[in-house]
């Protein structure tokens, strides 16, 4: 599944937009062709192209259709005719509903976020988050940089919200699944130690395994301490380091260096986990 937005302007000097060996004149054709080639390279096929189009971009939509038809012929890659999805700043909810009606659980989406509307990026960000609840995965997000005439990859920016959501889920409910899914097989020892302790803490609280909490809390405190002193070249790991302070704050430890059993009990009460609070008490 591929989603694209509209943009009727092209480079004033008609300088080509570029991503690798793929070029195009208009702001949408290069990123869309790049995404199609990427899907094909990994053995996939494009099920649908959804073109979010304003009234004034009818000409751009026609050009996109012609460009993709020509690209399909030149590369022998099957590309469906783009389906027009009307959009305006006054009908964002309708647009999102229309797009959702075109996808099913298990679909994967590639997004060209280049858009003529000021809020295009916010619309597509909201869309990506909503679709995740329907088990639709964002694979790649790109856009045409008007200044450099290059196609930029912004997937990591979109996925930062997965990290933020994962930290919130752990700090609010003790659920570490989001963070473990986000970091996958991170090689950084501080990240691995913190995630391992978070996962065991999550299980212990959910299953009321109070006998294990003392040793798990020691590991959790040690993991958060290692995380706070970590140095990494990864932007997401460094953001995780910054957010580790929010986890401490959520447990209400203030200026103290570690979370104790009383903190956990009160945290359970604050988050409506009464059974767990009673068991710990």
Q: 35-62 pLDDT, tens per residue?
A: 888 888 888 888 889 888 877 777 778 8
Residue 116: per-residue pLDDT: 57
DSSP single-letter state for residue 258: S
Report, as an integer, the average pLDDT of 247-270: 89
Residue 52: per-residue pLDDT: 82
The predicted-structure confidence for 168-226, as pLDDT tens digits, reads as follows 999 999 999 999 989 877 678 999 999 999 999 999 999 888 888 999 999 999 999 99
> Are β-strands 108-112 and 137-145 bridged in parallel, bridged antiparallel, or unpaired?
parallel
The predicted-structure confidence for 63-108, as pLDDT tens digits, reads as follows 888 889 999 999 999 999 988 888 776 777 788 888 888 888 888 8
Pairwise CA distance, residues 26 & 13, whole Å? 11
Pairwise CA distance, residues 83 & 272, whole Å? 46
Pairwise CA distance, residues 249 & 247, whole Å? 5
């Amino acid at each position: 599944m591929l989603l694209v937005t509209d943009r009727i302007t092209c480079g004033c000097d008609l300088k080509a937009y570029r991503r690798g060996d793929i070029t195009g004149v208009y702001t949408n054709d290069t990123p869309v062709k790049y995404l199609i080639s990427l899907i094909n390279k990994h053995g996939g096929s494009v099920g649908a192209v959804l073109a979010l189009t304003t009234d004034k971009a009818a000409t751009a939509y026609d050009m996109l259709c012609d460009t993709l038809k020509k690209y399909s012929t030149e590369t022998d890659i099957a590309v469906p005719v783009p389906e027009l999805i009307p959009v305006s700043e006054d009908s964002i909810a309708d647009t999102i509903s229309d797009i959702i009606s075109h996808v099913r659980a298990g679909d994967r989406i590639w997004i060209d976020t280049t858009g003529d509307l000021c809020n295009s990026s916010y619309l597509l960000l909201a869309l990506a988050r909503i679709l995740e609840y329907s088990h639709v995965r964002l694979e790649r997000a790109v856009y045409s940089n008007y200044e450099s005439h290059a196609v930029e990859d912004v997937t990591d920016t979109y996925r930062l919200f997965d990290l933020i959501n994962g930290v919130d889920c752990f700090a609010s409910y003790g659920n570490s699944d989001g963070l473990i899914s986000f970091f996958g097989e991170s090689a950084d020892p501080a990240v691995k130690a913190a995630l391992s302790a978070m996962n065991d803490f999550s299980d212990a609280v959910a299953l009321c395994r109070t006998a294990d909490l003392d040793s798990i809390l020691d590991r959790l405190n040690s993991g958060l301490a290692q995380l706070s002193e970590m140095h990494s070249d990864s932007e997401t790991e460094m953001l995780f380091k910054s957010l580790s302070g929010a986890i401490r704050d959520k447990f209400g430890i203030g200026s103290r260096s570690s979370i104790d059993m009383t903190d956990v009990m009160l945290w359970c009460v604050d988050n409506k986990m009464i059974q767990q609070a009673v068991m710990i008490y």
